[in-house]
């Protein structure tokens, strides 16, 4: 039984001193992972970590919308296509992400428009190099859906899903997958969504170092804890943990071509 944490950030500062230990703990508990970049530096760092392992540790490269902070910037200055053209050729890079829209951190309409342009540019890069996409959305569902529809068909997953079943169904109808974090272990707000989403359209993640699952809530999160997300899904769907682990890992390996 292998668990697959499809979204973590061991390339972030909270893990700078012990990322090897964190990965070893995950491996001892049959857990694989994808380290997700949020800018050029963390994307490169994700690759450097992944290159230490033959299997079980992978990387993605992307520019997170919260780092779009200067409305006078040009898209081509934010998204260096030469960087992406080079990094996607690395066999450890399995996706473009984390990319998307985040209106929680800005109410400036011009910055929102720049976020949209940056997102569209990265989707174009992903399609050019035939890479799946890891999408971030916070308080921007309508605009994200509008953009996704423009690029269909699109191989993408909605990371850290925390919305309604009605919203999830719209994403599923567009052919996207849904990924759940430890949030589902400390609230029943998303139980209906989990019940209704087909298991073959579901992935699991930690978003480490954030959003640690119960019983580790408040601690630094790590890939090992993705098993608690899987267990919660199993409990809600009234199926075995083994079934959830097997199917979500199968989904991840097919989606990311691992």
CATH number at 223 reads 3.20.20.140
Alpha helix segments (H runs only) across 51-164:
75-78, 81-87, 109-128, 141-151
Residue 34 has pLDDT above 90, yes or no: yes
- C-beta of residue 19 within 8 angstroms of C-beta of residue 48: no
Number of domains in the chain: 1
* Domain span at 146: 3-255
Over residues 185-194, mean pLDDT: 96
Q: What is the pLDDT of residue 71?
A: 79
pLDDT digits (tens, 9 = 90+) for 69-88: 887 889 999 999 999 999 99
Over residues 56-79, mean pLDDT: 93
Q: Which among 249, 208, 213 has a CA at the least distance from the CA of 23?
A: 208
Give the pLDDT band (50/70/90) at residue 210. Answer: very high
Q: Which three-class secondary structure string do you get for 206-235?
A: CCCCCCCCCCCCCCCCCHHHHHHHHHHHHH
Q: What is the pLDDT of residue 212?
A: 98
Here the tokens at position 110 are 């011009």
pLDDT digits (tens, 9 = 90+) for 107-126: 899 999 999 999 999 999 99
State what percent of residues in the chain have pLDDT above 90: 97
């Amino acid at each position: 039984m292998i668990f697959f944490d499809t979204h973590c950030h061991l390339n972030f500062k909270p893990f700078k001193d012990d990322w090897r230990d964190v990965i070893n703990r995950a491996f001892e508990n049959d857990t694989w992972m994808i380290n997700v970049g949020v800018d050029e530096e963390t994307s490169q760092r994700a690759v450097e970590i992944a290159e230490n392992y033959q299997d079980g540790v992978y990387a993605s490269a992307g520019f997170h919308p919260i780092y779009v902070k200067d409305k006078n910037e040009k898209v081509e200055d934010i998204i260096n296509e030469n960087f992406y053209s080079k990094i996607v050729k690395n066999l450890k890079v399995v996706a473009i992400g984390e990319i998307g829209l985040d209106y929680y951190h800005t109410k400036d309409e011009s910055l929102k428009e720049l976020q949209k342009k940056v997102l569209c540019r990265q989707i174009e890069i992903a399609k050019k190099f035939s890479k799946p996409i890891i999408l971030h959305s916070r308080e921007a569902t309508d605009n994200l859906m509008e953009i996704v529809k423009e690029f269909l068909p699109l191989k993408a997953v909605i990371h850290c899903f925390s919305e309604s079943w009605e919203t999830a169904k719209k994403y599923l109808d567009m052919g996207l997958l849904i990924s759940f974090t430890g949030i589902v272990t400390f609230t029943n707000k998303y139980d209906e969504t989990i019940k209704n989403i087909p298991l073959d359209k579901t992935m699991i993640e930690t978003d480490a170092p954030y959003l640690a699952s119960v019983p580790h809530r408040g601690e630094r999160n790590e890939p090992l804890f993705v098993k608690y997300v899987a267990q919660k899904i199993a409990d809600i769907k009234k199926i075995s943990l083994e079934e959830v682990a097997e199917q979500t890992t199968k989904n991840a390996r097919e989606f990311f071509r691992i």
